Amino acid sequence: MTNERLRGAMAAANLTKHALAERLQISTKTVERWITQDRRPHPDLRLEVARALDRDETYLWPELLAGSRSAAASLSEFVQIWPTRPEVPHEVWRSLMQQSTGNIDVLVYAGGFLVESLDFVNVVHRKADAGVQIRILLGESDSPEVIARGREEGLPSLPQRCESTLEYLRETMNSPMVDIRTHRTTLYNSIYRFGDSMLINTHSYGAYAAKSPVQHLQKVPGGRLFSYYLDSFEAVWKTGRPVT
């Protein structure tokens, strides 16, 4: 794993590996290992690096903030982040869907891109036939929460998009492995769980979900992020109304 924060801070300070090594009176290879192998300097040298780059050492080495094994494990759960949902490569979505075993859980309002761009209906059919338990939560189209979100995002068609996605997915409900419910909750995050992997699409006032960041999490023993979002899904699931 490379330390991109350190690499970026050096570039911003216009310092090469050789120049930083000279300033700290160490070898260039040592600096190279900090970057390419994510090695961490000892405390005194770490402070010198932070001063030379005009950065806080916890910015350059965020693992210093992990004061417990649980916090460190949670940091390890974090795989990647994309600034917007369309920047998540389709290959990532397809790979996670293909590799998922055991469970697929989806919490959205509409999630139209799943059925329109990612062939999600056929994915659900195949995975259900393979014994994967699939739970899908869609926004209740006439609920005040969905109507308000559409207004706030400047997307008045959101209620209709919720209905459209549901119509796409109705044909999958013949399988006992597929359970679809509608919900009326205020949606703070769209959650896409594929086995032990999860994509979290955060929501911000005034921005479409598609224009909001997406985090990729991987379940790690002792970590808390994956279970935190899964607990949120379960809480919404309890409130959901089965689609008939």
**Any alpha helices (H) in 69-174, and if so which ranges?**
69-77, 90-99, 112-117, 120-129, 144-153, 158-169
Using the predicted structure, report yes or no on whether residue 132 has a pLDDT greater than 90: yes
Find the mean pLDDT for residues 109-122: 96
For 5-56, what is each residue's pLDDT tens digit? 999 999 999 999 999 999 999 999 999 999 999 888 998 899 999 999 998 8
- Sheet with 133-139, edge to edge strand ranges: 78-82, 214-218, 197-202, 189-194, 103-107, 133-139, 178-183, 241-242
- Which single residue is written with the structure tokens 């999600």? 120
Query: What is the SS3 assignment for 241?
Result: strand
Residue carrying structure tokens 């005040």:
144
Helix 225-239, helix 69-77: angle, nearest 10? 70
Say how far apart CA 224 and CA 43 lie, in whole Å: 28
Burial of 229 (0-12, 13-18, 19+ CB in 10 A): buried
178-232, pLDDT tens digit by residue? 999 999 999 999 999 999 999 999 998 888 888 999 999 998 777 788 889 999 9
pTM for the structure as a whole = 0.72
Strands (E), the chain: 78-82, 103-107, 133-139, 178-183, 189-194, 197-202, 214-218, 241-242
Q: How far apart are CA 150 and CA 51, in angstroms?
A: 47
pLDDT of residue 67: 55
